[in-house]
Amino acid sequence: MTSLAQRSQSTGISQRKSSSDETLFDESNLDERYSRQILFRGIGSEGQRKLAASRVAIVGCGATGSALAGLLARSGVGTLRIVDRDYVEPSNLQRQSLFDEQDAAESVPKAIAAARKIAAFNSQIVIEPKVEDLIPANIEALLEGMQLILDGTDNFETRYLINDYAVDHSLPWIYSAAVGSYAVTLNILPGQTACLACLFPDSPRGMVETCETAGILNSAVNLVASIAATEALKLIVGGASSPKLRRTLLSFDLWTNERAEISAAMPRSGCRACGQRDFTHLAGESRPHITLCGRNSVQIHERQRPIDFAEMDRRLQPHGTVRHNDFVLKFWHDPYEMTLFADGRAIIKGTTDTALARSLYARYVGS
Ligand SMILES: [Zn+2]
């Protein structure tokens, strides 16, 4: 009880709980709430109990991550850990289904906004929001204890990192991506199927299009999330050897109605990751600067610099407009906008020049 109460306190997410950590749900409520899902033969009561005991991480909570988290939370996945580095903005609302206008107005971090929204429709599961950028230095801590990892990211760098971690730990993960009207997904079952690096030894050329250059249909996002969430249910209920699991790379273009499926049933011999077990992305040094997808902005990592928002607010007042809440501080210094997180990480909007972003950070936050 205490640890759950503490967890709720630390995340700000209110959760109604039963009497022990082991019993995260009330069986009678469970039957009622999930009755239509239990009636489905593929799940049943036994499957529902497995879902309640399951622990799933969703990395990235933008459009795909929101849809995945919403579906799995409503399905009764017992513990969902949501990792996201970003905050909600108005342009997200067209497709990121867990957020609303108030989240955008207050720049609430997506992990926090998602956890709040989920707690409002399913208070019987545990949501663990992590406002962090998944990098080699923190991946062990962020994914520890999870049995399945779902991809809600928007970049291959993070996907290769997840792939290395999952193959190294023999953990299943599900790749999902959507851009324009195109959606693609793959189940990676280490020891059985191909991994991401088997199929794409390098970032695929076709995927260099981003939401910014090609736009995105919310229906493409929901399609890929629906397929991936269903594969997650099969995996949790039937295990990683379930014959129901898809063992192909599946892609759709919803606008042209093209559909393709490539076998991924066997690993590629000599694959860097699953064949040679050369986990270069896992071993990679942490990345000091990242230009974000879909934005004219640069991210600065400064993990060793806890920020006192009240103090920083006072310090920045003479230099521009400052505003903060419990999770982020925003500072406008024309033409730049800096968003500072409690651990010292910052997103600087208005430039793609990493040296300039670094110098703005050094001048206003610290070097
Ligand atoms: Zn491989």
167 Cα–ligand 1 center, Å: 8
Ion ligand 1, residue ranges at CB < 5 A? 195, 197-198, 267, 271, 273-274
| Residue 139, both tokens | 């991946």
The question of whether 211 is a catalytic residue gets the answer: yes
Extended beta strands in 69-139, E state: 79-84, 126-131
Per-residue pLDDT tens listing for the chain (367 residues)? 333 334 443 444 444 444 444 445 555 566 799 999 999 999 999 999 999 999 999 999 999 999 999 999 999 999 999 999 999 999 999 999 999 999 999 999 999 999 999 999 999 999 999 999 898 989 999 999 999 999 999 888 899 999 999 999 999 999 999 999 999 999 999 999 999 999 999 876 554 566 666 789 999 999 999 999 999 999 999 999 999 999 999 999 999 999 999 999 999 999 999 999 999 999 875 454 555 545 688 888 766 678 899 999 999 999 999 999 999 999 999 999 999 998 888 889 998 888 888 888 888 888 6
Distance CA 141, CA 129 (A): 13
Residue with tokens 């397929």: 227
Q: pLDDT value at position 287?
A: 54
DSSP notation for 320-349: SEEEE-SSEEEEEETTEEEEEETTS-EEEE
66 Cα–ligand 1 center, Å: 28
Q: pLDDT value at position 290?
A: 58
Q: Are residues 312 and 340 in contact, defined by beta-carbon separation less than 8 angstroms?
A: yes
Q: Are residues 151 and 177 in contact, defined by beta-carbon separation less than 8 angstroms?
A: yes
Catalytic residue among 61, 195, 211, 271: 211
Pairing of strands 336-341, 55-59: unpaired
Q: Are residues 197 and 244 in contact, defined by beta-carbon separation less than 8 angstroms?
A: no
Distance CA 348, CA 339 (A): 6
- Alpha-carbon dihedral of residues 156, 159, 165, 168, nearest 10 degrees? -80
Distance CA 326, CA 303 (A): 18
269 Cα–ligand 1 center, Å: 8
Extended beta strands in the chain, E state: 55-59, 79-84, 126-131, 148-151, 173-179, 182-188, 248-253, 258-263, 289-291, 297-300, 321-324, 328-333, 336-341, 346-349
262 Cα–ligand 1 center, Å: 15
186 Cα–ligand 1 center, Å: 13
364 Cα–ligand 1 center, Å: 44
Q: Are residues 114 and 71 in contact, defined by beta-carbon separation less than 8 angstroms?
A: no
Report residue 308: phi and psi, to 5°.
-90, 105
Q: Are residues 307 and 341 in contact, defined by beta-carbon separation less than 8 angstroms?
A: yes
- Alpha-carbon dihedral of residues 98, 88, 112, 237, nearest 10 degrees? 40
Percent of the chain that is helix, strand, coil (3-state, to 5): 40, 20, 40
160 Cα–ligand 1 center, Å: 11
197 Cα–ligand 1 center, Å: 5
174 Cα–ligand 1 center, Å: 14
Q: pLDDT value at position 358?
A: 83
Closest to 261 in 3D by CA, of 250, 275, 247, 270: 250
